[in-house]
Structure 1
Amino acid sequence: MLGAVCMQAQNLTVKGVVSDDMDVLPGVTIVIAGTDKGTVTDIDGKYSIDVPKGSKLIFSYVGYRSQTVTANQSRLDIRLSVDAIQLEEAVVVGYAKQKKATLTGAVSSVSSETLTKRNVASLSTALQGAMPGVTIQQTSGQPGADGSTIRVRGIGSINSNQDPLVLVDGIETDINQVDPNTVESISVLKDAASASIYGSRASNGVILITTKRGKEGKVTTTYSGYVTIQRPTNMPEPVAAWEYLQAELNSWDNAGMTVTETQRAQQLKLIEEQRTLRPDNWNRYDTNWKEETISDYSLMHNHNVTVSGGSENLSFFGSGSYMYQDGLIPNDNYDRTNLRLNADAKILPWAKLGLETNLRQSNLSNPGMGSPKSIINQALYMLPTISAAKELDGNWGYGKNGLNPTAMANDSGEKRTTSTEALVNGTLTLTPIKGLDIIGQYSRRQVTNRGRSLITPYTTSLKGQVLGNYPAQDGLTESWNQTIRNYYRAQASYERTIKEHYAKLLVGFQAEDSEYTSFSGGKKGFDLGQNYLDNGDGSTATSSGGANSWAMMSWYARLNYNYKQRYLLEINGRYDGSSRFTPDNRWGFFPSVSAGWVISQENFMEKANDIVDILKLRVSYGLLGNQNIGNYPYASTINPGYGYYLGDNKELTPGVAQIALSNADITWEKSKQFDLGMDLSMWNGLLTVTADYYIKNVYDMLMKFPVPYYAGMKPAYSNAGDMSNKGWEISIGHRNKINDFTYGVTFTLNDNRNKITDLNGLNSQDKTLVEGYPNQGIWGYLTDGYYKDWDDVANSPKLSNAARPGFVKYKKVYKGEDTDPMLIDSRDMVYLGDPFPHFEYGLTLNAGWKNFDLTVFFQGVGQRSAYMSGIGLKPFANGANLFRHQLDSWTPENQNAEYPILVPEANSSDNYVKSDKWVRDASYCRLKNLVIGYTLPSAVASKLKIASLRLYVSGQNLFTISDFYSGYDPEASYSGTQGGEFYPIMQTFTFGLDLKF
C-alpha cells in the first residue's frame, strides 16, 4: 500500500494548450521520451497526459521544430516555432486553406513579395519562372497586350481553350487585369488531386489568387510607385537605300534576268548617288522608316496606395492604383485604374461576414489604321527609296501606294477601347460549433467594353505632287459588349481530431450563370469632322449584334484524413452540369484520390532527425474535364447575311442559312492524371527539394471530321482525339543567415513531352496534327546546304526546275517505288521539332546585408524549335526591304553564307519552304530581373515620422544568350498576315520606392 502511495505521488497529470504564433494546433503528437506512450492535442489544441514527474515530453508536429520540455508542473502551455521551410504555411487550395505539411497534391505557390519585385504591367508575366510545371511565355511587348500565355503541365486540348482557370478570391477573372499590389499569394493546382474539386473547369490547371485582407491593429498606409524606361530587347536593322539597290541589281543578275546596259547604268548611278550624296527627298530618298516611326524608348509609371487596419471585430484593406504604359509608336498607349476594398466583420461570436468590391477601368488606344504590330513591321520592311515619311510640302509621303506607316501611327485616327469591370463578392461564414464551418457566398461580376474606331484619311504627296487621301474615305465604327456573371455557393465543412486521427469533410454546392450581349455599328463619309453615327453616308451603314448565355451547376466534396500526421489521405469529387451540352450528356463526375506518407515521422527515421526535417512522398490519380468548347456546339445554328434568288425575276432576297453541321452527342473533353511527388527538407531548412513526375492523358478531344463538299456545310465537332502529356519538375532551395548577411537560392527545372496518340486517322494536311507527334509539331524538308554549281543541280533531287546554284538543296527521304528519285514532294517531309518549350528553368538569388537587398532572377528554355516565315525570313518578301543580316547571302565565293543566293521574290519560293534550314534553336538564357534596394534605417525613418522607406532600382530582360535569328527575340511570337510580324518584348529600367506610414 505504501509503495502504491509513493508511486502515485511521483506521477503527474500535465495539461495545457499547444499553439503557434497564429492559432492553436490540433493533432500535435506528445510522447514521453524513451517510451511509446503519448497523446495528441484535440481540435482546440488541448491535451492531458499522465507522466512520471521530471520526465521529458516531446512535442512534435509536421512543419514545426520539435520541442522537448521537462514535466515538473501540472500546467504546460507550449508554443511551437515554425520550421525554417515554413511547412506550416497555409496554402490556398480548392475552397479552403491547407497546411503545406499535409498536402497530398501537386501545388506550387508564390508570395506577394516575389510578384511586386518584378515591376511589369501584367501579373501573368510576373509569374514567369517562379513555379515549376507552369509554362509562361511573354510573346509581345505591346501596351495592353503584353500579358503572357500560361500552360500548366503541357497542352490540355487541340481545339478547345487551353488556358488555366484563374480565380481571384474564388471568382473567375482575367489575370492580367489584377493589380499585383493587392495580391497576398498565388497557388497553382497542377494535378488532379488538387484541381478535381473544380471538375470540368480544371483540366488545364487552376490558378488561385488570394487578395490581401486587413488585420487587427492600427491603421497603416502605404504608397508604392515606380517609373520605368522601356526599350525593345531586339529588333532587326533594315539596310540603307544604296544597299537595297545593290542587292536588287545582284538579285536580277543572280536570277539570270535580262538587264539592258541602260537599265544597269541607271541602277549603278542611283547606287553611287545614294552612297555619296545625302537624300534631298526630291531626287533621292533614303528614308529610315524605322527611325521615323518607332521610338527608341517609351515610359511606364505605376502608383499604388493602400490603407489597412482593424479591430477584433472589424478589419479592412483598401487599395487604389493607376498604371500608364506608353508604346513604341505614337497613339499607342494603355492605362488602368484599380480600386479594391476588402472588409471582414465579426457580427456574432459565431458569424463572420466578408465583403470584396473591385472596380477597374482600362483604356487602350491605338492608331486608327492598322495595329501597332503591323505598323511596326511596315516600318521595318518599307522600301527606303519610294518616298519620304513626310514630303517637303508638309504632306505625308506617298509610301507604298499611299500606305505610310509613319502617317498611320500619327495621323490616321484612333481606336479606343474602354473596359469597365465591377465586382461585388460577399461571404457569410457561420461556426455554430467547434470544427463546423458553414459558408454562403454570392458574387456578381460585370464587364463592359466600349470601342470607338475612327479612321481619318491623311493627304499624301510625292515630289511636290499631291496624290490624294489615304484611305479615300473616312469611317467610324462604335461597338459595345457586356458580360454579366452571377456566382452562388453554399458549403459546409467539419473537422475533428480523435486521439491520433484527424479528419475533415467538406461538401458544397455551386452554381453560376453568364450572359453576353454585343452590338456594333459603322458608317463612312462624314462631313466637317462631325464623326458621329447619326451623321455620315447612310448607304454605307453597317450593324451587327448578338447575345449568348450559359450556366453551370455543381456538387462537390472533399475528405481529408491523416493518422499521426504521418499517413495522409484525400478524396475529392465533383458532379458538374453544363448547359453547353445536351441534357443527355450534360452531367459529368470528376473524382480524384491522393495519399501521402511522411517518412520522417517514422520511428526508424529517429536517428536522422538532426539531418532530415521532413521527407514526404505523395501520389495522386484523378479525372478532370473541359467544358470550354463554346456555347451550344451541339445545336444547329442559323446565321443571317445570306441571300437567295427567288421568284420569276430571280431577285436576290435576304435570308439565313445553316452553315455548319451539328452533333448532339458531343460531351466533355476529359483527362486522366497521375502524379508522384516528393517533399524534402534537411538541416533545418538549409536545403529543400520538391520533385514531381506526372502523366496527363487527354481523351474525347473535340475534332472535326471532313465532310464532302456537296454537303454544303462545315463539319461538326466529335469527341474523337486523344493526347498525352508526360513530364517532371523539380524545385531546389537553399537559404541561410550568417551574421548580418542573409541569402537564398532557388532553382526550378521542368520538362513536358506532348504527343497526339489518336486522331482516328485524320492527320491534318499541314501536318501540325499527326498521330505519334506533338501538337503543332513542325514538319518540313531536310536540307543539305546549297547547290554548288549547275552539275550539282542536275544530279541532285530538287523541288522544281527553278533550282539553280546557291538555292537550298533538299534531301530525298521517301524511297518508295512510286516516286521520282530526282523530285522532292510532300512525302519527303519529316518531323523537325516541337515549338513548345522544354527544360524550362529559373534561378533566383536573394541576398540581404543590413539595409541592402538584392534579387537576381535568371530564366530560360533549354530546348525549343521555332519556324519563321514571310518578311522575318525572306528577302524582298511582298516587295519589302532587306534586313542587314540577310546580306550574308550565297555567292560562288561565299558558299557557307547564312542565306541562299539573292533573287527576286518571284524566283525564290523554293528556298523558303518549311525545312530544317529555317527551323531554329529558340532556346535561351535571360537575366529576367535584377533588383537592388535600400531600406532606410528604422531610427532615421522614425525621425521622419514614417514607418519605413525602401528605394530600389530594377531591370527586366537585361540580357539574353541565344542563337536565334539576328534581330529577333527567341521568346516573342512571329506571325501575322505578312509572316514574321511582331511587337518587340521590352527591356526595362525601373526606379521606385515603397513608403509605409
Structure 2
Amino acid sequence: MSLNKFQIPMKNLCRFFLLMGLILFAPVMIYAEIKNVKGIVVDESGESLIGATVKEKGTANVTVTNFEGVFNLKLTTPKPVLEITYMGYETATYPVKTSQVKVVMKVAEKLLDETVVVAYGTQRKVTVTGSVASIGADDIKKSSAPNITAAIAGRLPGLTTIQTNGAPGKDEVTMFLRGAATYNDKKPLILVDGIPRESIREIDANEVQSITVLKDASSTAVFGVRGANGVILVTTRRGEKGKVSVRPSLSYSMQTFARKSTRRNSWDYVRLLNEARKNEGAAPEFDGKDVAKFDAWRDGSGPSDPVDRYWYPNTDWQSIYFKDYASMVKANVDISGGSDRLQYFVNAGYVYQGGMYNTEPKSQLGYDPQAKMNRYNFRSNIDYSFSKWIKASFDLSSFIEKVNGTNGVESAVWGDAITARPTSPGPLTVAGFKVRENGTDSEGNVLVHDVRPGQVVHDPVQTLESGYGNMNRSGYNLQTRSGVNAIASLNVDLGFITKGLSLKGLASFESRSNNVTTALKGFVTYKYERKPAGLDQPIYTFDGDNEEDDPLSLHRSTTSNYFLNMQMQLNYNRTFNSRHYVTGMVLFQRDLREVASGDIPYNMVGLSARGTYAFDSRYLAEVNIGYNGTEQFAPSNRFGFFPAFSLGWVISNESFMDNLRNNGIISNLKLRASVGKVGNDGLGSTRFLYLDNIDLQYHTSHIPSLGNGGKIYERMVGNKNIHWEVAWKQNYAVDLTLFDDLDLTFDYFIEDRSDILIERNTVPAISGLTSSQLPRVNMGEIKNKGYEITLDYNTDITRDLNINFGGNFSYARNKVISADEAVLSSDYAYRYRETGFSLGQNWGYIIDHTVDPEHGKDGSGFFNSKEDVINSGLTYETGGGIPQPGDFIYKDLNGDHIINEKDMAPIKYSSLVPRISYGFHIGASYKGFDFSVMFQGVGQYSKYYSGRGIFEEEGSKYYLDICDNRWNEERYANGEKITHPRLANSGSVSHIQNSYYIMDAAYMRLKNAEIGYTFPARLTRKAKMNHVRIYISGDNLCTWTALPTKAFDPEQASVVDYPLMRTFNCGINIQF
C-alpha cells in the first residue's frame, strides 16, 4: 500500500487548525467586540423608561437611562450580565451577547395588585399622597359578628368604634375617624360603591371586597360639605374573567354574654341591706330569724320547711331571665366568573341570631317575645362590555331583616333582672298559698282565697315594674326592615379623542322601609307579703285593676324613604415619556333623599375635581376640589368651595438610594404632606335654621286689650348667615418599607374646626329670649390633633411556613377653643366647663387623699369618724345630706370650706370618644394549617356609668361586687382594704359624680382568634371541589379592663344595657 494514500493535504490541515482556533478563542473575540453596550429600556407597552438603573452585575459599574430610555455602558467583565431596576417594575437580568440590546421591563405583580380605593376611583398605591387605610375581605370575614362595623374594630388606623349594645338587630356601632371635633354630627360619611349610605350594619360581609377610610383633607375635599368627619368607602366584590366559581359557606356559633352582672346570694344580700339601713339609723328589714333562714342556703340546701324554702329563697334571677347561650347561624353562597365580555358576581346570604332571654314557650303564650334576628341578603354585580370602548355595570342588592323582641322596655327587663332581690320569691305564683282579698269580713278578719298559680309575682319593695312580666306577658315587638338598591353605570373610553380619557355616568336608586308590629298585652301582677298583719303565714296581694290578662292588641306603623343619586364623571389617566404620570377627574353629582311620610326632601348638588401628577415615580403632587351646596342654608349661602393640596417625595427612588433599594434594605421611603379645607353640614335634626320658627297656634285665648286672637310664640329666631362648619386639616406622614416585608407608616395630623353651629350662651336674659330661642350662630371652635402609627410584617420563612404580625395605634385629642360659654364667677375653681377642655369631659368632685390629721384626713379619702367630719370644717351642699363616717372627703378647691358645684373639676378623660385606640394581630400558616389572633382596645377614656351608685339606693338596693370593699366600722377597725363608701339606701354625699364613680373605661380585648385547616388539593379534587377549609374561631373571648368591677362591659353605656356577646364559632368554606 502506498504511503501517499495516508498523507493529509496541507490545505485541509490548515483548515482544521483554523477551525479549532475559532472555537477556542471565540469568547475572547466576542468580548473584544462588545466592550461597550448600548441599549434601550421599555415597559410592556413599548414606552421608554426614563431613569432606569442599569448595572453590570457583580460590579460597581452603573448608569441610568436618559429621557429616551437609552443607556450606554462600558463593560468590565468577561461575561457581562446587566441588572436593570426601575421603581414599580420587576428587576431584570440580561446576559450581554451583542452590543445593542433592548430590555422589556415587567410591572411588579405585587405593585400591580396594590391599587388603593380613593374617592370616586382608584390610585396606584405608590402615587397616593393622602392619608388612606384599608382592609380586605379576608380580614373582615375573620369575625363572626353579624354587623360588619363591629368586625372592623381595631383593624383600621384612626377608626374608633364603640358598641354599647349586643342585642340581636340592635348592635349598631358608633364610629369616629380621628376622634371628634364638633358638637354636631360626628359620623363619618359612608359610601358603598360610591353611593352615600346611612349605615352598613345590614351588609353581608361576604359581599365586601374592601373597606377604606379617608382621613385627611386631600382625600376628602372632593366631598366638600360632607367631608370634615372623614369618609368610609365600602367596595363590593365583582366578577372576574374565568370559569364559573361557586363558593358556599356555613358557620354555626354559640353566643354568651362577654360580661354578666355580678349576683348576690340572699344571705349576703340581707346583711348588706341591713347594714345600709343601720348606717341611716333605720331598723333592719330582716331580723335575726329571717337571716337564719337565709343562712340555711349558705350552710346547706335551704330551710327544711317547704313554706320557708319558698318565702325565704336564694333566687338566681339572672338564670331565670337569661339562658346560658344562644345560637347563631350564617349561611352564604356566591357565584362568580365571566368571559371577555361578561363578568358577574352573585351572592345570597342568611343570618340568624338568637337572643338570650329565657322566655316562656310560644305554645303557652301564643306569641314569641324572644329577642332574635333573621336577615336575608342578596347582591348581583354584573359588568358587560359592549365593545372595546363601552362598558356597562348593573348592581342590584337587597336585604330583609326581621328583628323580634319583647314589648317591654329593654332597660326595664335588664334593670329588674340584675336588681331583683335574691330574697324575693317568684317569678310566678305557686299553688298552696293564699291571696289577700280587698276588705275584711264582719268580724274584721282578713279575707283570703287560693291563688291562681302561674301569675307574675312582683317584689313590693322594688320601684321597677316586673321585668319578668315585661319580658313574657306584655306582648312582642317585630320590626321588618328592608331595602333595595340599584346602580346602573356606563363607562365610555374616549381614547379616540385622546389616550387615557374616559366618561362615566351613574344612577342609583335606593328604597328603605321599616314596618313595626307592636303587640300589646296587659298582665296580672301579684305582690307578696312575707309578714302580713293579721295573718300567720305569708300571702300574695293582688296588684292591678283586674284578675285576668288583657287580650293581645296589634298596632302597625310603617316608615319608608328613598334615595336617588346621579353622577357624571370624566376621568383622565396617562403616562408621558414613561416619567410623567398624570390623572384627572371631574365629577358632577346630585343627591336626593326623601321620606315618604311627607317630610321635606333633602337635596345636595356638587362638583368635584382631582388632579394628580407623578414625575419619575419620585415627585408627587395632587389637587382636590369640592364645590357643592345644600338646602340646609339660605339660598344666598348654600354653596362652598373646598380645596386641598398634597405633595409626596419617594426618596427611595432617588439615585443615592440605589444601593439600599437594590439590596432590599429600604424598599420604599416616601414623605407625604397635605393641607386643605373641608366642611360639615350635619347640624342636627332641626332643618332650615335660617328661617324664623313662629307658632301661630301657641295659645287660643285672647288678650282683652287687643280683642280676640291667638298668641304668637317665637320658638326660634332664624339666622340667614349660618353656613357649614369649616375644617382646616394638615397631615404629615412617612411611609417606610424595610427588607420588602416590613411596612411602617406614621401620620401626624392637625385639625382646626371653626364656624361650628352652637347656641348662644352669653346673651343676657333681659333680651326676652332663652338660649333655645336665640338664633344659632357659627361661633364654635375646636382644635383636634394627634398621630397614627401602623406596622405590618409578612414573610415566608420557608416554602410552607408564613408568619405575619402587625398593628396600629391612634391618638387624637380635641380641645374646645370657643363655645360662647358664659364665664363663671371668680369663686369657682374652674370658670369654664367646656372652653379649654375636651368634648365630653367628665366633671365631678375630687376625693381628697391628702394626709392632714388636724382636719380629719388620714389619706384614705374617707371620713372615718364623726370627729373627722367636724374637724374637716367642711360643709356639704351637694349630695343631699350631711356627710357621715364612711363618706368621701372632697377637695375644697376654692378654699371656702363649702363643697358645692364651685369645687367641681375635670376628672380623668372624655366620655365621648377615647383618645387612644389600637389593634394588633399575629398570624401564621404552615402547610394547610393557619392561625390568627387579633387584639383591640382603647385608652384615655372614662365614663360615669349611670346606675352604678344609685342602684344601692332605695328602690333598687343592688350591690355590685365593688361593695365588698365598702367602708364600715368593723372593716375600718380591722384595717381591711376599703375603696367603696358606706352603704346607703336613700342617697348620700358619696353617690354623686366623683373621682371614684367616674371610672377608667380603658380596655384591651381579645377580639378574635381563629384556627383553620385547608385540605390538600389532591384530596378535594377527588370530590370535585377546588378548595375546602374548616375553621373554629371566637370573638370577644377575653377582656382586660381598668374598671374596678366585673359587673358590666366597659363599652356599655349603662349597667342595664344588653351586653356584648362572646362567640364560639365553627364553619366550613367550599369552592367548586
* Same fold by TM-score greater than 0.5: yes
1:196 maps to 221
| Residue 659 (structure 2) pairs with residue 607 (structure 1) | yes
Taking the aligned partners of 1:7 and 1:430, their CA distance within structure 2 comes to 53
Taking the aligned partners of 1:362 and 1:872, their CA distance within structure 2 comes to 38
1:215 maps to 240
| Residue 313 (structure 2) pairs with residue 288 (structure 1) | no
Give the aligned residue type for 2:324: D
| Residue 801 (structure 2) pairs with residue 741 (structure 1) | yes
Taking the aligned partners of 1:313 and 1:236, their CA distance within structure 2 comes to 59
Shift of 1:383: 2.6
SS of the aligned residue for 1:175 comes to: coil
1:170 maps to 194
CA gap of 1:439–1:29, structure 2 versus 1, over 3 A, is farther
Shift of 1:636: 3.1
Question: Any conservation in 2 of the 1:431–1:438 contact (CA below 8 Å)?
Answer: yes
| Residue 953 (structure 2) pairs with residue 876 (structure 1) | yes
| Residue correspondence of structure 1 range 526-675 to structure 2 within 5 A | 546-609=598-661, 610=663, 611-629=665-683, 630=685, 631-637=687-693, 644-645=700-701, 658-675=714-731
CA gap of 1:9–1:379, structure 2 versus 1, over 3 A, is closer
| Residue 850 (structure 2) pairs with residue 850 (structure 1) | no
Shift of 1:37: 4.8
SS of the aligned residue for 1:176 comes to: coil
Taking the aligned partners of 1:672 and 1:921, their CA distance within structure 2 comes to 32
2:419 maps to 381
Question: Any conservation in 2 of the 1:768–1:779 contact (CA below 8 Å)?
Answer: no
Q: For structure 1, which segment, 134-143 or 627-636, has the greater mean C-alpha deviation from structure 2 after superposition? A: 627-636
1:93 maps to 118
1:362 maps to 401
1:532 maps to none
| Residue correspondence of structure 1 range 855-866 to structure 2 within 5 A | 855-866=932-943
Question: Any conservation in 2 of the 1:29–1:59 contact (CA below 8 Å)?
Answer: no
Taking the aligned partners of 1:61 and 1:454, their CA distance within structure 2 comes to 70
| Residue 702 (structure 2) pairs with residue 702 (structure 1) | no
Question: Any conservation in 2 of the 1:679–1:691 contact (CA below 8 Å)?
Answer: yes
Give the aligned residue type for 2:908: G
Shift of 1:575: 0.5
Query: What TM-score do you get using the length of structure 2 for normalisation?
Result: 0.82
* CA displacement 1:400-428 (0-9 Å, x = unmatched): 57822122112211111111111110111
Q: For structure 1, which segment, 782-791 or 793-802, has the greater mean C-alpha deviation from structure 2 after superposition? A: 793-802
Shift of 1:647: 9.8
1:528 maps to none
CA gap of 1:398–1:89, structure 2 versus 1, over 3 A, is same
CA gap of 1:57–1:274, structure 2 versus 1, over 3 A, is closer
Taking the aligned partners of 1:32 and 1:934, their CA distance within structure 2 comes to 45
2:473 maps to 411
CA gap of 1:247–1:29, structure 2 versus 1, over 3 A, is same
Shift of 1:949: 0.6
Give the aligned residue type for 1:620: S
Taking the aligned partners of 2:213 and 2:996, their CA distance within structure 1 comes to 39
Taking the aligned partners of 2:634 and 2:917, their CA distance within structure 1 comes to 41
Root-mean-square deviation (Å): 3.1
2:303 maps to 277
* CA displacement 1:191-214 (0-9 Å, x = unmatched): 111111111111111111111110
Q: For structure 1, which segment, 638-647 or 963-972, has the greater mean C-alpha deviation from structure 2 after superposition? A: 638-647
* CA displacement 1:599-645 (0-9 Å, x = unmatched): 11112212322111010000000111001124322223467995523
1:102 maps to 127
Give the aligned residue type for 1:293: Y
CA gap of 1:783–1:50, structure 2 versus 1, over 3 A, is closer
2:1004 maps to 925
Q: For structure 1, which segment, 630-639 or 444-453, has the greater mean C-alpha deviation from structure 2 after superposition? A: 630-639
Taking the aligned partners of 1:588 and 1:249, their CA distance within structure 2 comes to 66
1:206 maps to 231
| Residue 837 (structure 2) pairs with residue 781 (structure 1) | no
* CA displacement 1:672-691 (0-9 Å, x = unmatched): 10000010011122x21011
| Residue correspondence of structure 1 range 923-962 to structure 2 within 5 A | 923-962=1002-1041
Taking the aligned partners of 2:959 and 2:868, their CA distance within structure 1 comes to 28
1:524 maps to none
Question: Any conservation in 1 of the 2:487–2:507 contact (CA below 8 Å)?
Answer: yes
1:326 maps to 354
Taking the aligned partners of 1:552 and 1:143, their CA distance within structure 2 comes to 34
SS of the aligned residue for 2:599 comes to: strand
Taking the aligned partners of 2:332 and 2:707, their CA distance within structure 1 comes to 63
Taking the aligned partners of 2:292 and 2:718, their CA distance within structure 1 comes to 65
Structure holding more strand per residue: 1
| Residue correspondence of structure 1 range 123-134 to structure 2 within 5 A | 123-134=148-159
Shift of 1:48: 6.3
CA gap of 1:269–1:63, structure 2 versus 1, over 3 A, is same
1:807 maps to 887
Give the aligned residue type for 2:865: D
Taking the aligned partners of 2:621 and 2:464, their CA distance within structure 1 comes to 69
SS of the aligned residue for 2:821 comes to: coil
Q: For structure 1, which segment, 57-66 or 238-247, has the greater mean C-alpha deviation from structure 2 after superposition? A: 57-66
SS of the aligned residue for 1:893 comes to: helix
Taking the aligned partners of 2:72 and 2:103, their CA distance within structure 1 comes to 13
2:745 maps to 690
In structure 1, runs of 5+ residues without a counterpart are 1-5, 41-46, 519-545
| Residue 559 (structure 2) pairs with residue 481 (structure 1) | yes
Give the aligned residue type for 1:901: R
SS of the aligned residue for 2:715 comes to: coil
| Residue correspondence of structure 1 range 510-529 to structure 2 within 5 A | 510-518=589-597
2:835 maps to 771
Question: Any conservation in 2 of the 1:700–1:721 contact (CA below 8 Å)?
Answer: yes
Question: Any conservation in 1 of the 2:129–2:646 contact (CA below 8 Å)?
Answer: yes
Give the aligned residue type for 2:932: T
Taking the aligned partners of 2:882 and 2:158, their CA distance within structure 1 comes to 47
CA gap of 1:677–1:572, structure 2 versus 1, over 3 A, is same
1:307 maps to 335
Query: What TM-score do you get using the length of structure 1 for normalisation?
Result: 0.88
Question: Any conservation in 2 of the 1:150–1:163 contact (CA below 8 Å)?
Answer: yes
CA gap of 1:561–1:403, structure 2 versus 1, over 3 A, is same
Shift of 1:725: 1.0
1:540 maps to none
CA gap of 1:553–1:263, structure 2 versus 1, over 3 A, is closer
CA gap of 1:31–1:15, structure 2 versus 1, over 3 A, is closer
Question: Any conservation in 2 of the 1:57–1:70 contact (CA below 8 Å)?
Answer: yes
| Residue 294 (structure 2) pairs with residue 255 (structure 1) | no
Taking the aligned partners of 2:711 and 2:338, their CA distance within structure 1 comes to 64
2:531 maps to none
Question: Any conservation in 1 of the 2:758–2:776 contact (CA below 8 Å)?
Answer: yes
Give the aligned residue type for 1:627: D
Taking the aligned partners of 1:105 and 1:868, their CA distance within structure 2 comes to 39
SS of the aligned residue for 1:181 comes to: helix
Question: Any conservation in 1 of the 2:311–2:425 contact (CA below 8 Å)?
Answer: no
Question: Any conservation in 2 of the 1:384–1:881 contact (CA below 8 Å)?
Answer: no
1:38 maps to 65
| Residue correspondence of structure 1 range 753-764 to structure 2 within 5 A | 753-762=813-822
CA gap of 1:87–1:939, structure 2 versus 1, over 3 A, is closer
Question: Any conservation in 1 of the 2:1049–2:1060 contact (CA below 8 Å)?
Answer: no
| Residue 94 (structure 2) pairs with residue 69 (structure 1) | yes
Taking the aligned partners of 1:473 and 1:828, their CA distance within structure 2 comes to 55
Shift of 1:366: 1.6
Question: Any conservation in 2 of the 1:88–1:100 contact (CA below 8 Å)?
Answer: no
1:974 is aligned, of 1014, 1036, 1053, to 1053
Shift of 1:360: 0.9
Question: Any conservation in 1 of the 2:511–2:560 contact (CA below 8 Å)?
Answer: yes
2:866 is aligned, of 765, 790, 793, to 790
Q: For structure 1, which segment, 209-218 or 323-332, has the greater mean C-alpha deviation from structure 2 after superposition? A: 323-332
| Residue 1066 (structure 2) pairs with residue 991 (structure 1) | yes
CA gap of 1:747–1:26, structure 2 versus 1, over 3 A, is farther
SS of the aligned residue for 2:980 comes to: coil
2:446 maps to none
Give the aligned residue type for 1:360: F
Greater Rg by CA: 2
Taking the aligned partners of 2:421 and 2:48, their CA distance within structure 1 comes to 74
Shift of 1:947: 0.8
Taking the aligned partners of 2:385 and 2:565, their CA distance within structure 1 comes to 23
